[in-house]
Structure 1
Amino acid sequence: MVTDQFKAKDDAGNVYQVVVHRNSINTSTLNGPGSLAGLPDFRLSDGRSLNRLSQDVFQIVQTGTKITRV
C-alpha cells in the first residue's frame, strides 16, 4: 500500500515524484490476528527503484542519479 509521496530533485534540476510503499507483515498466532508494517520500498512514480542513501537522499537504481527530497 502507498504510505507517502513526495518530490525530489537531482543536480540538473529535474523533479521526480517518489512513492513510498509499505506492505503489511502477518503476525497472527493461535491467540489471534496481528500485523506489523514492513520496511518501506521507495520507487519513482514511473516504477523505477530507488536506494535510500540517507534521510533525504536517494539513488535511482537504473541510472545512478542521486536525488534529494525537496
Structure 2
Amino acid sequence: MDLVEKFDAKGKTGGAYHVEVYQTALEEADKAAPPGLKTYKLADGRALDPLSDAKFKIVQTGEKIYRV
C-alpha cells in the first residue's frame, strides 16, 4: 500500500489527530485487496472507519473525529 494523503482531524473534546490514507496500488492488488481500496489510519497505527469524507470513527475507542 502507498501513502496517498495526510490530514489533521479533531475530536469533540478538541483532541488533535493526524490521519494517514493508504491506497492499494494496481500492481499489488489481489482478491483480498481490490485495486484502489483506501485504508484510513491514525499516525499511531490505530484503524479508522470512514463515515463520510470528513467524519471518521476510531475503531479501538469508538470516538468520532472530524477532518479540519
Question: Which band: TM-score by shorter chain?
Answer: 0.7 to 0.9
The answer to which structure has the higher strand fraction is 1
**Residue of 43, 51, 57 corresponding to 2:49:** 51
Shift of 1:25: 2.6
1:63 aligned residue: 61
**Which ranges in structure 2 are unaligned for 5 or more consecutive residues?**
28-33
Q: Which segments of structure 1 move beyond 3 Å, counting only runs of 4 or more?
A: none
Instruction: Name the % identity.
Output: 43
The answer to which structure has the higher helix fraction is 2
2:31 aligned residue: none
TM-score by length of 1: 0.82
